[in-house]
Structure 1
Amino acid sequence: MIILNKIIHCDINPRNILLDDIYRPRISNFRLAKLLIPDEVLTRTGIRGIKGYVAPEWFQSMPITLEVDVYSFGVVSLEIISCRRCVEIAWGAEEKAILTDWAYDCYRDGTLEDLVEKDEEAMRDKKRLLTLVMIAIWCIKENLLFRPTMKKVTLMLEGVVLVPFPPSPYPFNSYS
């Protein structure tokens, strides 16, 4: 019987995702990672990671699970989709300052072209763009119980599992 230890990376962000010689992504920099013992699904530890990529449960003194990395993955995905940073302060554009909030607004309002700044390549396959944004929104749900596992995220990205329309990622929504 093979027992696999689970690792919570705790610092998923663009700087810690490298590409190998054939452009496959590789996660690096495990200095903040937390190793779970077999059968352990949650742990308590001090806050780790970079502001903007840190899951809400870190600030709520809740036990930490693998889903903190799912949240960070969702933020990184939105950065890749939009070609902008997770927090970007621009004079007169406060509604766009927090990428996760703005991305959900664009999704809800049906204005994904604004999210990708009318990028022609992104707009060529609007269905794929919508799917990628929906997956990212599922990943950034504030309530970790509603976030998909990374296995399910992978299956959604591969098209093996259908991506349901995500409700608001924020707690004021009745689905959270």
Structure 2
Amino acid sequence: MACSGYMSPEYFSKAPLFLKSDVYSFGITVLEIVTGRKVCSCRPNEEQPTIVVDYAWKLWKEGKAAELVDESVLTEGAFAVEEAIRCVQVALLCTEEEHNRRPEMSSVIRMLEGEEAIAEPQTMVSNQRCRGNIQQ
């Protein structure tokens, strides 16, 4: 089995899927790009697999958002740290546990382009969704 970390929480609760289920998946993809981590991964010296959204929420709540940014993203000149943190903040909004708290994609685009204020993410996704063998 593979990691099902791209699937929104409502998928696992057998609740109806919503348009914003895709927003959740987009948020996970953004986190993978910015952090350089797979959706589910094992790193040296880690006993448990790391789920990228859990890792991002943990550092965000600790006020360590800059630590989320993969060095290769910065060294290639693709992003400034502030832009990368903006991407993380938007991604966390996209991964809110409650689908009605997630932004619409049109709003996501405006936030990423700096044309719309970005709200503070509130609700950490609480369920672990890595299953089976995890590849590095």
TM-score range, shorter chain: 0.7 to 0.9
Q: Is the 8 A contact 1:70 1:148 kept in 2?
A: yes
What is the deviation of 1:149? Answer: 0.7
- Of 64, 77, 80 in structure 2, the residue corresponding to residue 125 of structure 1 is 80
Q: Secondary structure at the match of 2:40?
A: coil
- Give every structure 1 segment of 4 or more consecutive aligned residues whose post-TM-superposition deviation is greater than 3 Å: 117-120
Q: Is the 8 A contact 1:95 1:102 kept in 2?
A: no
In the alignment, structure 1 residue 141 sits paired with structure 2 residue 96 = yes
Q: Give the aligned partner of residue 56 of structure 2.
A: 103
- Normalised by the length of structure 1, the TM-score is 0.61
Q: Give the aligned partner of residue 65 of structure 2.
A: 112
How many Å separate the matches in 1 of 2:84 and 2:96? 19
> How many residues matched?
122
Which 5+ residue runs of structure 2 have no aligned equivalent?
127-136
**Identical residues among aligned pairs (%):** 30
Bigger CA drift: 105-114 or 117-126? 117-126
Larger relative helix fraction: 2
Q: Secondary structure at the match of 2:41?
A: coil
**What does residue range 10-25 of structure 1 map to in structure 2 within 5 Å?**
none
Q: Give the aligned partner of residue 56 of structure 1.
A: 9
| Aligned-CA RMSD value | 2.4
Q: Is the 8 A contact 1:139 1:148 kept in 2?
A: yes
Cα deviation, 1:67-107, whole Å, max 9, x if unaligned, reads: 11000000000000011200002353257611100011112
Amino acid at match of 2:63: G
Amino acid at match of 1:81: V
Amino acid at match of 1:127: E
Q: Give the aligned partner of residue 23 of structure 1.
A: none
Larger relative CO (CA 8 A, sep 6+): 1 or 2?
2
Amino acid at match of 1:126: V
How many Å separate the matches in 2 of 1:147 and 1:74? 10
Over 3 Å counting, the alpha-carbon distance change for 1:116 and 1:95 in structure 2 is farther
Q: Secondary structure at the match of 1:69?
A: helix
